[in-house]
Amino acid sequence: MTDATHTAPIRTDWSMEEIRAIYYKPVLELIVEASQVHKQYQATGEVQVCTLLSVKTGGCPEDCAYCPQAARYHTDVPVHKLLSNETVLKAAREAKEGGSTRFCMGAAWREVRDNRDFDRVLEMVEGVNELGLEVCCTLGMVNEYQAERLKQAGLYAYNHNLDTSEENYSNIITTRTYGDRLNTIDNVRKAGISVCSGGIIGLGETDDDRIAMLHVLANLAEHPESVPVNALVPVEGTPLAEQPRVSVWEMVRMIATARILMPKTMVRLSAGRQEMPVSEQALCFLSGANSIFSGDKLLTTPNPGFADDKAMFELLGLTPRKSFKTETACGGTMPAPAEAIPAELAAE
């Protein structure tokens, strides 16, 4: 168990054996250790509230076995073209009023193309950034030039999940490679954009697949600033529609292990929260989760709304994390660089 008097080191050289030893600890011991590491690097009781909006839904050419937006699957998800800027900014304002400090926009694209739609997304990024929200996008694969354009527009973070281990990847997706995923993450990092990358559990993977995915994330040259841990939400019409629900103890093991491996990272309790009572979510927060998505939908699947999350925060004594906040190693706070802070916030 970690000695609370000594700060856990930040490492990018974890072995599979070391990660297995952490992951398989007795669950209560694992929770305690993760909680200690969390307290050393994070403001305890503080949770980042994010909102994710699908700005272009359905019709995706990929074959991700979990995704209801793949064109080849017959699901009830309606296809719609890119939303108007006005619609997106209205949703961003509502998210901010509801308590979100990060607004994420997702488009069902395999990759970004240099066309009018991408130009419109860049305008959306600029508009959301002007609202004082951390703006995030998940648009599929991006090259270095596109990542630079997103950065110049004011993009704060880019999400591109690994989903699972490299060994299991071809069982879930065949229309792109694991290397493609890592290449996009590298392009985002080169542009100076915050990296958001995690995965999904409940795809039929083994514990070793979960450990291997964490091994890749924890051994990147720089840890992702955010690691979403998603529980599969099975959708009728997809190949994984009959997968059983992931247990809270599986989520706890993933979250706690991620927290110990990547102490400064925001570990996000993501998809699957709709099926979790507050007691189960509390276990995840105790295990090191300090970020959630709030709002009635998570792209196309149900998600707890702002009112439910506000009640949960009050019950558990949680407070929302402010936009553009960074943490010092001792758990205190310091402002982000001046150029990253919107004028209206800098004036406060």
Catalytically annotated residue among 50, 136, 137, 284: 136
| Whether residue 50 lies in the annotated active site | no
Supply the angle between the helices 16-23 and 27-41 in degrees, to the nearest 10.
110
Q: Which residue has the tokens 């839904």?
A: 57
CA separation (Å) from 120 to 13, 69, 83, 329? Answer: 40, 21, 9, 38
- Catalytic option among 102, 176, 253, 268: 268
- State the catalytic residue, choosing from 50, 60, 137, 284: 60
| CA dist., res. 41 & res. 55, Å (int) | 34
Q: Which of 50, 102, 104, 176 does the annotation list as catalytic?
A: 104
Q: Please tell me the distance from the alpha carbon of residue 103 to that of residue 177, in angstroms, as a whole number.
A: 28
* Given the residues 50, 196, 253, 321, the one annotated as active site: 196
Any catalytic annotation for residue 137? no
Cβ-Cβ contacts under 8 Å for 90 (sequence gap 6 or more): none
Longest dimension (CA), the chain: 55
Rg (alpha carbons) of the chain, rounded to whole number = 19
Q: How many helices (H) and strands (E) does the chain have?
A: 12, 14
List all residues 6 or more positions away from 241 whose beta carbon is below 8 Å from its beta carbon.
Answer: 234, 235
Q: Measuring CA to CA, how many Å separate 118 from each of 55, 111, 115, 137, 184?
A: 12, 10, 5, 12, 16
Other C-beta atoms lying within 10 Å of the C-beta of residue 290: 24
Establish whether 284 is a catalytic residue. no
Catalytic residue among 50, 67, 137, 284: 67
- Active-site residue list: 60, 64, 67, 104, 136, 196, 268
